[in-house]
Amino acid sequence: MQKILYITPLFLFVLACGPSKNSHSGGSPTVKRTSPSDPRFIESISMTPGEEGPGANNSANTGRLIGPGHSSVSGAGMNIENGTDLQFKYAIMLDENVESMNNLALLQFIDEWFGTRYKYGGSTKSGIDCSAFTCTLQNSVYGKTLPRTSREQFDQSQKIPSESLQPGDLVFFNTRGGVSHVGIYVSNNKFVHASTSYGVTISDLNDEYYKRRFVGAGRL
């Protein structure tokens, strides 16, 4: 008997994301869950071991981020169930170890303000400028009071070398003459600030724009 082979065409749909401007976006990435056993995805970044991209459990990132069913994060012995969505979210954004995301007050503050639009002279969630943002963050997270302008904050802070930066330190830039922009260092060369283009966002000190305009760092 002659066998007849039926071949069903397979259509592959490739979903492509458009490149984002610079290294940050205008809004905070979200964590999407389908069931407790599913991998978590943040801006199309999978935490599933073996996949490519930031947070992948490959030779370059082993022990940095792990997926469901894996017992611990290397270095701290932190069980996966002890890590919050907020810690995973910002570990990926900052390309950092999950266990180093231990300042939950800072992460919560950033998350609540992320995407707030820039408004010169503003100091609320309807609009805020860079120095008002650093004032509000320092007071809310660290209980410290800063003067209102970036120049005054620069003058008041103790100057430190950039290689000594710690979370909560101030970073200053010359964007339009003198000290005219300020942000708060978070981790791994990343800082949070109220950007005129993106509002409250996270940027990288190594970005060419900020690298050329970096004035110095300060500690309260």
Q: Which residues are catalytic, by number?
A: 130, 181, 193
Q: Please state, in angstroms and rounded to a whole number, the distance separating the CA atoms of residues 128 and 121.
A: 7
Do 220 and 211 meet the contact criterion of CB atoms below 8 Å apart? no
φ and ψ at residue 167, rounded to 5 degrees: -55, 135
Amino acid identity, residue 90?
Answer: Y
Q: Please state, in angstroms and rounded to a whole number, the distance separating the CA atoms of residues 27 and 44.
A: 15
Do 71 and 79 meet the contact criterion of CB atoms below 8 Å apart? yes
Do 91 and 110 meet the contact criterion of CB atoms below 8 Å apart? no
Q: Please state, in angstroms and rounded to a whole number, the distance separating the CA atoms of residues 217 and 210.
A: 13
| 130: three-class secondary structure by DSSP | helix
Q: Report strand pairing: 72-73 vs 45-46.
A: unpaired
Q: How many CB atoms lie within 10 A of CB 196?
A: 14
Cα 174 off chain centre by: 23
